[in-house]
A and B are shown apart, each in its own frame.
Chain A
Amino acid sequence: MSSEKVEYEPVIGLEIHVQLSTRTKMFCGCRLSFNDPPNVHTCPTCLGLPGALPVVNARAVHFGIMIGLALGCEIAERSLFHRKNYFYPDLPKGYQISQYDVPLCRGGRLGDVRIHRVHLEEDAAKLNHLGTSGRIHGSDRSWVDFNRGGTPLVEIVTEPDLRSPEQAREWPSLLRTTLRQLGVSDVNMEEGSLRVDANVSVRPAGATELGTKTELKNMNSFRFLERGVRAEIIRQIALLEQGEPVLQETLHYDPASDSLTPLRSKEEAHDYRYFPEPDLVPVVATEEMVAAARADLPAELPAERAARYENELGLNADTARLFAFRTELGDYFERALAAAGGNGDKRQIDPVELSNWIPQLVERIGSDSDPASSNVAPESLATLATMVKAKEVSRDAAREVLTRLVEEGGDPRAIIEREGLGALTADDDGLGELVDRAIAADPAAAEQVRSGNMKAIGPLVGYVMRETKGRADGGEITRLIRERLGL
């Protein structure tokens, strides 16, 4: 064993394919398929019949520019389509029309990750294998369904800026939310409208040169992305630690066994023989086209919203991201914030306090539900939060109120009054008495507290909480106990 163990850091880049939700295919007027019977959405162009020619879908270009703008990219004034040549049954022309060195968009950034490029291309058809497992190996015959062939795709390539498996799970989620907000795609990984491949390499921590990268495919959920990337990092580090080199190869992730297998290596490395597509003319992103794309962008995209929550409203980073990634939570939060004056309550709402109550609400209605469709009106949540902040109701009691609100809706003040859940303070009858009783019931604890061990105060506070059924504010109880004990 060497005396100095090298620390390795992972370097990860992602290649994302997004199926656009246009009505027709990228280069022909066939409708997009949604689990329709095989081969009912084909024409000479997407079947690669002799003499057929492609024609670019204007809406796909529009969506492509929208995506570029949302990701802060530079939209190319002029971009070209290229032919990417190779033979495969799901590729009817023997080439894919894609974009090569003059793509639609370059540069950009989303959150912590820089974007390298964004371009348009067509999807391959679907190759189905006979045999029960649906896997290639073990079947003798396959058959092709061309419904999917020609579906418009946007390919997004990031810079190798990701640094952990967790990030490989989280960042695509941010991308997905962004794309969903744009309305350009269903971005559903299970259905295949969002596909993410990862390029993974490792290098000694602090080094600037990149290690050999491998390409990981077939991770069709964010969870699998994280697991696949993690497994690959471990594998590469183990190799390097044994003095073995990492080979550049493509690995297929198997979710069942959580393992990676090299895809059968082809004799020739891919020589795609790219050349400009002579059947199509260049795409010029005119001012009108860019303006039209900008006009279709939502007012605020998730990354911007998260930044605003954190910087302007003081939410912590995780909460800011949660509300920004899950639009329904963010929307509800903002409606509650704006509810100053609703319910007749004129006090300022504290965003941070309010933000604590949204997860509480989500817990009660189910994590897949939209708060806006619950019985809890945003103003009501706002009022509740404000009352907690003002110590008019204890945190514990407020949780009960929330449960009631979820069940019946209405105004929290009414519920508090009806159930007698208002906070007890020192001014209320009996609280001081209860504190005395708590001290009397547990003199040992009281002695501990007197001698400086604040941890022992817990049982005393608990006693009072139980007796008040949680109506007293914990902080208030603590203050009173200390007072009584002469601290």
Chain B
Amino acid sequence: MLDREQVLHVARLARLDLSDEEVERMAIELSKVLDHIDKIRELDLEGVPPTSHVIDVVNALRADEPEPSLPREVILAAAPEPLHDGFGVPSPGAA
């Protein structure tokens, strides 16, 4: 059901650097699961609205009032690469 190309495509979308072995295994495992899941497509669901929210609540809104922010030292303490008072990363688009 899912071939290698598809697995690689999805892995790229999900930013997962799967090894060759993982790709192979994933194709088999996911295909098996999808085969089973596929049965729901046989149901007649014409006109059935999708449930995007289980609870019957609307307009959970918040007043536009400021709340304390986190101190910078605290958030940068967890950073893998603190840089210039911010979070360092490889530049996008750099080779």
A and B touch in the complex (CB under 8 A): yes
Chain A residues close to B by CB (< 8 Å): 22-24, 28-31, 37-44, 47, 55-61, 78, 80, 87-89, 127-130, 136-137, 139-146, 264, 267-268, 271, 273, 276, 278, 280-284, 286
Report Cα–Cα, A44/B92, bound state, in Å.
24
Interface window among B25-33, B35-43, B50-58: B50-58
**Given that A23-B64, A276-B52 are contacting pairs, would A39 and B75 also be in contact in the complex, using a CB cutoff of 8 Å?**
yes
Tell whether A268 pairs with B13 under 8 Å between CB atoms, given A24-B66, A141-B89, A278-B53.
yes
Q: Report the 4 A-B pairs with minimum CB-CB distance, sorted nearest first.
A: A29-B67, A59-B64, A276-B52, A58-B61
Q: How many A-B contacts are there with CB distance less than 8 Å?
A: 134
Given the complex of chains A and B, what is the CA–CA distance between A28 and B60 in angstroms?
13
> Beyond A39-B86, A267-B12, is A140–B91 a contact (Cβ under 8 Å)?
yes
Contact of A273 among B13, B65, B72 (CB under 8 A): B13
Beyond A23-B64, A24-B65, whether A80 also contacts B83 by CB under 8 A is: no
CB distance from A376 to the nearest CB of B (A): 41
> How many B residues touch the partner, as a band?
35 or more
Whether the pair B87, A144 counts as a contact (CB closer than 8 A) is: yes
Known contacts A268-B13, A284-B58; A143 and B64 CB within 8 A of each other: no
Q: Is the CB of A89 within 8 A of B92?
A: yes
Q: Is the interface of A mostly helix, strand, loop or mixed?
A: loop
Q: Chain B residues in contact with chain A, CB under 8 A?
A: 9, 12-13, 15, 52-53, 55, 57-67, 69-70, 72, 75-76, 83-94
Chain B residue contacts of A55, Cβ below 8 A: 60-62
List the B side residues contacting A37 at CB < 8 Å: 72, 85
Say yes or no: A280 contacts B75, CB within 8 Å: no
The contact sample of 8 A-B pairs, CB cut-off 8 A, is: A43-B69, A89-B87, A140-B91, A142-B89, A143-B86, A271-B13, A281-B53, A284-B58
A29 to B15, CA, bound (A): 31
